[in-house]
Amino acid sequence: MIAADTPIGRWYQIIQDGKRLSPKERTSNALSALFDIPAEDRTSLMLMVSKLLSLPHQVKRDVALLDNVTPALILKWLPQAEASFFNLNMNAHWEHFLKHYTPEVIYGMEICGDTLSRQRPEATLTNEKLYELRELVYELFSQLEDEQLDPYLKMFIYSHLVEIRQALEDYQILGITPLETATKKVIGSVAMSPAATHALQGTQESPFMSKFWRVFNVLVLATTLAVNVKGLAQDQPDTAPIHIENSTEIIINPYPGGTNTDSTSGSYSILLPPPDSTALEEA
């Protein structure tokens, strides 16, 4: 067993889960069960399969960045595993997909996964945290239409919730990266949009907005940004939603000009990496 903190780790876990299904099941039904997608929703299923097809590329990309490793050796198993995608037939028996994952291929995946997990691990979410985020996001979706918020702010919230929801649905295959991207977009939107800053005024007491910033708080702490982020529980006197202090720290306050003593409401200090660091580039 290998950790699901790399693309190969997630690929490996999907195969192990797939081996628990009936080999005589139709491939489309097996994939529907694996990714919890209704069998009749063929569009969503094919979109998920397209993301599954990206895993070999991600594995090769990550292996190429390893130190003191010969890619051709550590990826010797890959061509046979890739063949499972090239020959994918949604109407065939599931066993036609699984037959490519021989003991030798599985062993190669384990060696590759262990190496990547030690040298290039990604942040991961526990099942409990993933469930918490999904519940919060779906609850926000159900409440958004009836909230008395500025129309621009409603669209701001809706667009970010859509991206966060999709990232959560893709987590099984794509891992933490889409969630990191969604988190960074919230930060960028608050920082770069005067309209968003204006619309946020007067929403400090909104239970709905507190819940939205709680989702953001969980995302920040769950992604690799957590290495460089700490929640602030102090007054934010600045009138701008973002400022850089001493070229080493970014202060983000979605409620500029006010006092915010609740760190779950979305006020953050982000420590910037040194000039020669690639931490954020790799995040």
Q: What number of other Cβ atoms are within 10 A of residue 225's Cβ?
A: 22
Q: Are 120 and 65 in contact (CB under 8 A)?
A: yes
Average pLDDT over residues 159-186: 92
Answer yes or no: is pLDDT of 48 > 70.
Answer: yes
How far is it, in rounded angstroms, from Cα 142 to Cα 211? Answer: 13
DSSP assignment of 172-213 equals HHHTTHHHHHHHHHHHHHHHH-HHHHHHHTT-TT-HHHHHHH
Reported as a pLDDT band with limits 50, 70 and 90, residue 16 is very high
- Please give the average per-residue pLDDT across 94-105, as a whole number: 97
d(CA 260, CA 33): 45
- Strand (E) positions, 183-254? 229-231, 242-245, 249-252
The predicted pLDDT at position 39 comes to: 85
Q: How far apart are CA 156 and CA 139, in angstroms?
A: 17
pLDDT at 229: 46
Query: What is the predicted pLDDT for the residue at 255?
Result: 56
How many helices (H) does the chain have, and how many strands (E)? 14, 4
Q: Is 237's pLDDT higher than 60?
A: no
Q: In terms of pLDDT, which residue wins out, 66 or 194?
A: 66
**Maximum CA pair distance of the chain?**
64
Asked if 123 contacts 224 with a C-beta cutoff of 8 angstroms, the reply is: yes
Alpha helix segments (H runs only) across 120-193:
127-144, 151-174, 177-192
Mean of the per-residue pLDDT values for the chain?
Answer: 81
Contact 256, 241 (CB under 8 A): yes
Residue 13 contacts by C-beta under 8 Å, 6 or more apart in sequence? 4
Q: Under 8 Å CB-to-CB from 191, ≥6 apart: which residues?
A: 241, 242, 252
Instruction: Name the one residue in this structure whose structure tokens are 């909230």.
Output: 147
Residue with tokens 């720290």: 249
Q: Is the pLDDT of residue 259 over 90?
A: no
Residues across the chain: 283
Bridge pairing between strands 229-231 and 242-245: unpaired
What's the predicted TM-score (pTM) here? 0.78
Place of tokens 């500025």: 150
Predicted confidence band at 98 (pLDDT cuts at 50, 70, 90)? very high
Residue pLDDT, tens place only, 59-79: 999 999 998 899 999 999 999
Query: Rounded to the nearest 10 degrees, how much is the dihedral formed by the CA atoms of 278, 280, 281, 283?
Result: 120
261 strand-pairing partners: none
Average pLDDT over residues 158-166: 94
Residues near 25 by beta carbon (within 8 Å), at least 6 away in sequence: 33, 93, 94
* Distance separating alpha carbons of residues 9 and 159, to the nearest angstrom: 30
Are the C-beta atoms of residues 23 and 93 closer than 8 Å to each other? yes
pLDDT at residue 1, rounded to an integer: 73
Tell which wins on pLDDT, 207 or 112: 112
